[in-house]
Chains A and B, each alone.
Chain A
Amino acid sequence: AQKVTQTQTSISVMEKTTVTMDCVYETRDSSYFLFWYKQTASGEIVFLIRQDSYKKENATEGHYSLNFQKPKSSIGLIITATQIEDSAVYFCAMRDLTGANTGKLTFGHGTILRVHP
């Protein structure tokens, strides 16, 4: 069965530093998609970045990038030059063939990021 695990419950960093959030996943499928979302204090859930399993190069989007290690079933999120407004809960999610024709995403529990001035 598909599973997404985020072991870090919370992380605190100083503003303008780089932070990495871990995520490991389980799937039997050779083709799958990995996503990171952010949930702000207001509860809004926003898409950040995506990695397609068949792509070797790590995805980047603004000050977000991914560290995709397929042999380890790992997809870390890297945020560079963190800002106060990056404080939020970050969710890793996966879509594989279990969600075929349904669009289903399986989410991790989330990592709370606190950015301090």
Chain B
Amino acid sequence: DPKIIQKPKYLVAVTGSEKILICEQYLGHNAMYWYRQSAKKPLEFMFSYSYQKLMDNQTASSRFQPQSSKKNHLDLQITALKPDDSATYFCASSQDTGAPISNERLFFGHGTKLSVL
């Protein structure tokens, strides 16, 4: 059974619309992340949360807003969608050890592939 559930798996949206990408993890981790994978670009870090608090935001646009209603949830709301937002969005989690940096691995969900027309 997948330990990190992302919904939906595929998503088609029209330019200017708003969508929410869902992520739930059942690994008992306290840190969650969003990464984006676009064509010809490496996996890009977007956000990190620890104990439901935003730790880092590397997205340039406020159109991307993470939402954490529970410790094991980290949804991603995207407003005013643009064709350039087309990508696969991966949710990930890890155990936050509290150290400034740690060697904890990330566990990834299967991704939500977003296509904006």
Report which A residues bind B (CB closer than 8 A).
Answer: 4, 31-33, 35, 37, 42-47, 50, 52, 91, 93, 95-97, 99-110
CA distance A96 to B102 in the complex (A): 9
CA distance A32 to B102 in the complex (A): 8
CB distance from B29 to the nearest CB of A (A): 10
How many contacts between A and B, using CB within 8 angstroms? 75
- Write out the residue numbers on chain A whose beta carbons fall within 8 Å of the beta carbon of B41: 109
With A32-B101, A95-B101, A97-B101 already in contact, the answer to whether A102 and B56 are too (CB < 8 A) is: yes
Which residues of chain B have a CB within 8 Å of any CB of chain A?
Answer: 31, 33, 41-45, 48, 50, 55-56, 58, 88, 90, 94, 96, 100-108, 110-111, 113
Enumerate chain A residues within 8 angstroms of B56, measured Cβ to Cβ: 99, 101-104
Q: Which residues of A contact B102 (CB under 8 A)?
A: 33, 95, 103
Additional A-B contacts beyond A103-B33, A103-B50, A103-B106 (11; CB < 8 A): A33-B102, A43-B110, A44-B108, A45-B90, A47-B107, A50-B103, A91-B42, A95-B101, A101-B55, A101-B56, A103-B31
Name the residue in B41, B42, B58 with the highest tally of chain A Cβ atoms < 10 Å from its Cβ: B42
Give complex CA distance A50, B103 in Å. Answer: 8
The reply to whether A103 and B94 contact each other, CB–CB distance below 8 Å, is yes
Asked whether B45 lies within 8 Å of A106 as measured between CB atoms, the reply is yes
A100 to B102, CA, bound (A): 9
A-B residue pairs in contact (CB < 8 Å), sample of 5: A33-B103, A45-B108, A52-B103, A103-B48, A103-B104
Q: Is the CB of B105 within 8 A of A102?
A: no
When distances are taken between beta carbons in the complex, the residues of chain A under 8 Å from B113 are 43
Which residues from A are CB-within-8-Å of B88?
A: 43
Contact B108 A100 (CB under 8 A): no
A35 close to B45 (CB less than 8 A) = no
A91 to B44, CA, bound (A): 12
Report whether B106 and A108 are in contact in the complex, using a CB–CB cutoff of 8 Å: no
In the bound complex, do residue B110 and residue A104 qualify as a contact, i.e. CB atoms below 8 Å apart? no
